[in-house]
Amino acid sequence: MPRSDHCPHCGKELQGPRNPLPTVDIIIACAGRGLVLVKRRFAPLGWALPGGFVDYGESVEAAAKREAFEETNLSLTDLQLFGVYSDPKRDPRRHTISTVFTAMALEPDQLRGGDDAAEARFFQLSGLPDNLAFDHAGIVRDFSRRSAKSFGI
């Protein structure tokens, strides 16, 4: 489908295909503590899995590690592909495709919010906040069904 939008900087009409934007989300699990959620600083507000947009020239694995560190101050170990989520309505701002990873924190006591995250905390699966942002409630539900036990949560 051709683009019908304009450059936000110069106003010129953009040409070429209009494609979904690639993103990553990371399920950071810690035995006995639960999984990490971040409180979003910008709209859409609410709690979410750490994640964000993949930069040009960056692999999805590198983006996951970068976004996790920027938003949670955590370095990751055992990064594994969990799934791909692509519902065009998953992000109210625009169509995105998220590559979702699971990982464990190297130093969980270093957890703190940063960058786009006003706060970062561990949550038990039984005590998650209501109305997670984007499609993250579904992602966490899939994780709970398929993988949570192997992470000790």
Annotated catalytic residues are: 119
- The CA-atom distances, in angstroms, between 30 and each of 21, 65, 109, 132, 145 are 29, 16, 11, 19, 17
Separation CA 138–CA 148 (nearest Å): 14
Tokens found for residue 62: 């590198």
Which residues have CB under 8 Å from 113's CB, separation 6+?
A: 38, 39, 71, 72, 73, 119, 120
**CB neighbourhood size of 117 (10 A):** 25
HEC string for 124-142: CHHHCCCCCCCCHHHHHHH
Alpha-carbon gap, residue 47 to 50, rounded angstroms: 9
